[in-house]
Amino acid sequence: ATTPQKAQAKPKQPSSPPLQRQNTKATPPSPPSIIRDRRGQFQFQRVGFLGEGGFARVYEVEDLRGTRVACKVVTESSLTTKKTKTKLYAEIRIHGSLSHPNIVAFQECFEGDNNVYMILELCPSGSLMDMLRRRRRFTEAETRFFLVQIIGACHYMHTHQVIHRDLKLGNIFLDGKMNIKVGDFGLAALIENPGERKKTICGTPNYIAPEVLFDTANGHSFEVDTWSIGVILYTLVIGRPPFQTKDVKAIYKRIRDNDYEFPAERPISPEAQRLIQHILAPKPEERPALLDVVHDVFFTQGTFPPHIPASAHDRAPDFR
């Protein structure tokens, strides 16, 4: 298993490299411009490049009716070990079993041209990370809107025994109507027996719950996603993650010590502060249930916009 120390390999970007990913060393060849499966059931035209992660490259493609979708491509040559194959099949099985308005829809999966292809709902407006870079921070009204949808998706996953384990702004996409679409189930785990605990150390440094790093004997469960939601809430309203610092080891120390503050130069409401403190409880059993989070005063008082205008990509909306 990858140890947390491994993430130190890229000290310049302490927050971005996820743990527990295989990294293909050379850039794989692009998939063909017409993507087909071996049985001639599916055909897509490649029209653009959307992005890449540690595991796959994602393209914008068009089906025969002209509908645009996203195509996640994993080269078969990168699936050299049984472990990497098992992980990919787990991602496909888990993501393919989920259907929720705030989760990136998983449409098909097939093999061809020495690649495994996953056809996903297209999220043309990028991720919350991209939007935060442009905006620096969000209003509390926008944060309420986004967070309720993220929590709705996460509650749905948990009721289907799925822990996402890598909830972060870069894995939370937006559709054309500014609705949330949670994606990337590459680190997700299925809880097959009630009370089962997971022991693999995985996640992304800034968002990783303390029990994943420091209670490896006891393991972790659904509450790791609640923790990540607390980190997301803090990051949306403050503009940077709570435990962010120069190197990964120091991030882990701050997570262990629950060492974060509310900077005076970026004031937030006392309700937001209290909710963040409640969610970022060091002990997983002391974190609130997701349904209690959405009933918190942070959500029940103050503006709750019915929708977010597309102009919010670049500037704060005025909800008066």
Active site (catalytic) residues: 166
DSSP states along 125-165:
T-BHHHHHHHHSS--HHHHHHHHHHHHHHHHHHHHTTEE--
Which residue is associated with the tokens 């990509």? 313
CB of 184 to ligand ADP, least distance (A): 4
Contacting residues toward ligand ADP, per CB under 6 A: 50-56, 58, 70, 72, 104, 120-123, 170-171, 173, 183-184, 186
| Residue 230, both tokens | 């607390």
Q: How far apart are CA 79 and CA 67, in angstroms?
A: 30
CB nearer to ligand ADP: pick between 32 and 124: 124
Point out the residue whose Cβ comes nearest to ligand ADP: 53
Q: What is the dihedral of CA 154, 292, 320, 125, to 10 degrees?
A: -10
From the CB of residue 46, how many other CB atoms can be counted at a distance below 10 Å? 17
CB of 317 to ligand ADP, least distance (A): 23
From the CB of residue 203, how many other CB atoms can be counted at a distance below 10 Å? 26
Q: How far apart are CA 73 and CA 119, in angstroms?
A: 9
φ, ψ (nearest 5 deg) of residue 146: -70, -40
CB nearer to ligand ADP: pick between 207 and 299: 207
CB nearer to ligand ADP: pick between 152 and 186: 186
CB of 68 to ligand ADP, least distance (A): 10
Evaluate whether 189 touches 198 at the Cβ level (below 8 Å).
yes
CB of 274 to ligand ADP, least distance (A): 32
CB nearer to ligand ADP: pick between 135 and 181: 181
CB nearer to ligand ADP: pick between 72 and 158: 72
| Residue 244 DSSP symbol | -
Q: Mapping DSSP to helix (H, G, I), strand (E, B) and coil, where does residue 279 land?
A: helix
CB of 53 to ligand ADP, least distance (A): 2
